[in-house]
Structure 1
Amino acid sequence: MSPTPEQRRAARHQLGTGSSAPAARRGPSGGRKKPITVDAIISTAFAIVEAEGYDALTMRRVAAALETGPSSLYAHVVNKEDLDELLIGRLCAGIDLPEPDPAAWRQQIAGVCTQLRDQYLRYPGISRAAFAAAPSNLDTLRVGEGMLAILLAGGIDPQTAAWALDSLSLYVNAYSLEVSLANSRIGRGDDGWVVSRDELLRRFAALPDTFPRTKRYAVELTAGTVHDRFDFTIGLMIDGLPGSR
């Protein structure tokens, strides 16, 4: 008897994402099309997100792109949440984890966060797939293990390091999602919600006097690029960890 999707998922968690055995195609197209595998499903899903955004990603949409029916996907992927986990795992597989260095741990943990950010920003909105998901994919867990090792090398006590890992990951996910949403609005020409710095300064200057600080510090409030703010916040979070050295 062929393994169930749940059994395939359990095997992936033990052995990595890997390729699964191809599913046989049914219908007149027969074997003339590429076989359905986990890797083919993941690659197709990424192509959809890259072209249309994460909101467009559904099991039915992936099946249509592969010129098959959703039932063919369920031979390999349990459901949409399982697909999300595979996508985040594939992105995490591309993260380079340094050997923890007590003398450079701050730069190392910030560098891993930056890599995660850049991976997420390649695919609009995909960081949503990482929210509210308990990590079980080995590639995702590998990144968590590496980040935890860096924090511990910096002299952070285990409980603080564990919560810092959660906080840093949550910020990277949220930041990436916000940037993706802003870029999507810009792409749609939705200028009413995404404005330039000059326009924002003009709006602040036009505020009534009941906003004295916003008017006075408008330049500071609007300074820097979004990545400048990312670097600032990550640095603030790292430097604020108790027990760091």
Structure 2
Amino acid sequence: MPTDPRQRRAARHAQPAADTAAPAPRKQPITVERITDAAMQVVATEGYDALTIRRVAAVLGTGPSSLYAHIVNKDDIDDLLMGRLYAEVVLPEPDPAVWREQLLGVYIQIRDLYLQYPGISRAALAMVSTNLETLRVGEGILSILLAGGIDPKTAGWARDALSLYVSAYALEQSLVSQRRRSQDQEWVLSHDELLDRFTALPADKFPQTKRHAAQLISGTGPDRFEFALGLLMSNLSSASS
């Protein structure tokens, strides 16, 4: 290397620009938001069954140990997922005149959000979420029930029952869709195939099923969803009545 500063500068200037190493791009830091984004991506593209800490880490281009600086375990990711979904739920101002309609509207929103992410409603089962967005929606549902004159204990139990049904409904829909995509699940029948099976049953053993086959399998999924919630809500009576 030249000892004269001018010669050293000239030598630097003489090097081709292509030889100058570009600075390595800075990696984005791991955050709770990015972990949640990655988890939502996994569920949306691969289904809830594929969701593991290792899979989320792979989406983020890091190792599982990097995630443990921000989350406790897989259950913690479930809590984050529910919070992300429930942040999209719009709550009405409770109105005693239309509280049942309002309640149905909130649960339809939750159902539709669940169905966007196959199997994600499993994250809501057997877990009491303390995420603030989840609590916000729970508070809104409770407020609607109380505005309808339902006593607090009944309102709390009804909220649990309604929420459980919505989670189970969405999970069943996801499982049916998954099985229909699998070639070895031929026992998942279409509406017409099921009708043919029921009407072909021996009348001496299955008289009611055979006679009322069309009624038994009638209605769409959303029709049956609203029927079930309506059935539950119709049994709720005002504390003053």
Q: Shorter-chain TM-score category?
A: 0.7 to 0.9
Query: How many angstroms does 1:59 deviate by?
Result: 0.1
In structure 1, what is the equivalent of residue 26 of structure 2?
Answer: 32
Matched residues in 2 for 1:147 and 1:220: separation?
33
1:147 equivalent to 2:141? Answer yes
Q: What does residue 133 of structure 1 align with?
A: 127
User: Post-superposition shift, 1:31?
Assistant: 5.7
In structure 2, what is the Cα distance between the partners aligned to 1:127 and 1:31?
38
The answer to whether the 8 Å contact 2:149/2:237 transfers is: no
Q: In structure 1, what is the equivalent of residue 218 of structure 2? A: 223
> CA shift at 1:187, angstroms?
2.0
Q: TM-score, normalised by structure 2?
A: 0.87
Q: Give the superposition deviation at 1:61.
A: 0.5
Shift of 1:189: 3.6
Match of 1:212 among 207, 216, 237: 207
Q: Distance in 1 between matches of 2:55 and 2:234?
A: 44
Query: Which has more radius of gyration?
Result: 2
Question: 2:94 is matched by which residue type in structure 1?
Answer: P
| Equivalent-residue separation in structure 2 for 1:32 and 1:188 (angstroms) | 42
Contact 2:53–2:74 (CA under 8 A) maintained in structure 1: yes
For residues 32-80 of structure 1, give each alpha carbon's deviation from its aligned partner in whole angstroms, at most 9, with x where no partner exists. 3322111111111111111110000000001111110001111111100
Aligned to 1:165: 159
After the TM superposition, which parts of structure 1 deviate over 4 Å for at least 4 consecutive aligned residues? none
Determine if the alignment matches structure 1 residue 201 to structure 2 residue 174. Answer: no
Does the 8 Å contact 2:36/2:77 carry over to 1? yes
TM-score (norm 1): 0.85
Q: Unaligned stretches of 5+ in structure 1? A: 1-28
The one-character-per-residue Cα deviations of 1:149-192 (angstroms, maximum 9, x if unpaired) are 00010111111111000000000000000000001111224552
Output aligned runs, 1:55-204, within 5 Å: 55-204=49-198
- Matched to 1:235, the amino acid is G
Q: Percent identity?
A: 61
What SS is found at the alignment partner of 2:96? Answer: coil
Aligned CA-pair RMSD: 1.5
Three-state SS of the structure 2 residue aligned to 1:32 is coil
Aligned length: 217
Distance 1:30 1:173 in 2: 46
Gaps of 5+ in 2: 1-22
Corresponding residue SS for 1:104 = helix
What is the alpha-carbon distance in structure 2 between the residues aligned to residue 182 and residue 190 of structure 1?
13
